[in-house]
Amino acid sequence: MRKLEQLVRPHILRLKPYSSARDEFSGKIGIFLDANENAFGSTTKKLFNRYPDPYQQSLKLQLSTIKKVKADKIFLGNGSDEPIDLIIRLFCSPGKDNIIVIPPTYEMYEVAATINDNEVIKVPLTNKFNLDIDSILNSINANTKLIFICSPNNPTGNRFPESEIFRILKNFEGFVVLDEAYIDFSVKDSLVDRINDYPNLVVLQTLSKAWGLAGLRLGMAFAIPELIFLLNKIKSPYNINEVTQKLVSEALSKPERKNDMVGKILKQRKWLEHELGKITCVEKIFPSDTNFLLVRFSGANAIFEYLLEKGVIVRNRSRMIHCENTLRITAGTENENKKLISCLQTYCKEL
Ligand SMILES: *Cc1c(COP(=O)(O)O)cnc(C)c1O
């Protein structure tokens, strides 16, 4: 790995960040006349007149225990999309640097890089959805700053072997961003603790999936403290609002609720897999380490439209590379899944 100072955009190293009122005084007791807040209260019943903690310290302490990572290795964002964007803007000079992505995968990496005017080098998975490590390593050039790997991958559902991710980490001078949005559904453990062995690893996780908190927007990035420091330097000052901080804190104190739901979701995914296997127009159900199934149908587009008519909305992934004729189906509740299966049975019988 190259030194962090050689990878980061030079002007960011020199940047003097905005200093908020809460940066300059972070005590809890006193008469607060420093932030131009409304001292009389809020227009809502609950009080939100004070700015939230800019560094979300109490949340990070809770997460530190749950994830077994020191708080200074945690960055919190407004969904994972915020760290994705910040990491790209931290490392990649517009019109100069590039990132590597591995389609078919989550498309936000490409979108965020394109917004910042960075080239996106695409090294597709093989048609069996495996990483093509040699091609990935051969695609790196002098301006490649980041490689994004999503594992378990969206939309293919599979997880890549650790040994392959380590091989990329060892042979790349820049940072590898490993998106573990679906890790709670996986049989294998997170690679978060490997930040200690591989300083060029950034792990992304989210509360949007297993924790059931998509609406609150909380994404996590785990990395060496030096990188977290730079992300904090360029984020907007109060990026996690007070409601999110409060409710997430409540949620994190009851991890057994998350585990219970993950169990239910996995049971439903297995049921779906079993039932889909009996439907004539299903050609292949891809193995999944997530809360969804990627399914190849004969005539996926028509099935997608039919399901829409019946009020069942799935994701058509047919336009993505190696995903011709596929729909991505999230495991829902028992009733939702039964409805989906009965629609598919009716439709496919008539073919
Ligand atoms: C759902 C998902 C996320 C989560 O994004 P948030 O902004 O945290 O809601 C991140 N990465 C992947 C691959 C996803 O599928």
Instruction: Summarize pLDDT for 155-168 with one digit per residue, the tens.
Output: 999 999 999 999 99
Query: What distances in angstroms separate CA 220 from CA 77, 163, 183, 335, one per listed residue?
Result: 6, 24, 13, 32
Q: Is the pLDDT of residue 1 over 80?
A: no
CA distance 327 to 340: 12
Residue 351 has pLDDT above 80, yes or no: no
- Tokens, residue 124: 């597709």
Residue 13 in contact with ligand 1 by CB distance below 6 A: no
Q: Tell me, using a 6 A CB cutoff, whether residue 81 lines ligand 1.
A: yes
Tell me what pLDDT residue 179 has.
Answer: 98
Reported as a pLDDT band with limits 50, 70 and 90, residue 53 is very high
Residue nearest to atom 5 of ligand 1 (CA): 80
Task: Find the mean pLDDT for residues 7-13.
Answer: 97
User: What's the pTM?
Assistant: 0.97
With 0-12 / 13-18 / 19 or more C-beta atoms within 10 angstroms meaning exposed / middle / buried, residue 46 is exposed
Ligand 1 mutation target, pool 82, 190, 202, 209, most atoms within 8 A of CB: 209
Q: What is the pLDDT of residue 2?
A: 83
The mean pLDDT value of the chain amounts to: 97
Is the distance from CB of 62 to CB of 255 less than 8 angstroms?
A: no
| Residue 4 tokens, joined | 């962090």
> How many angstroms separate the CA atoms of 315 and 328, rounded?
5
CA–CA dist 161, 164 (Å, integer): 6
- The pair of structure tokens assigned to 165 is 């991710």
Q: How many Cβ atoms from other residues are within 10 Å of residue 193's Cβ? A: 13
Give the model's confidence band at 309: pLDDT under 50 very low, under 70 low, under 90 confident, else very high.
very high
Question: What is the model's pLDDT at position 350?
Answer: 79
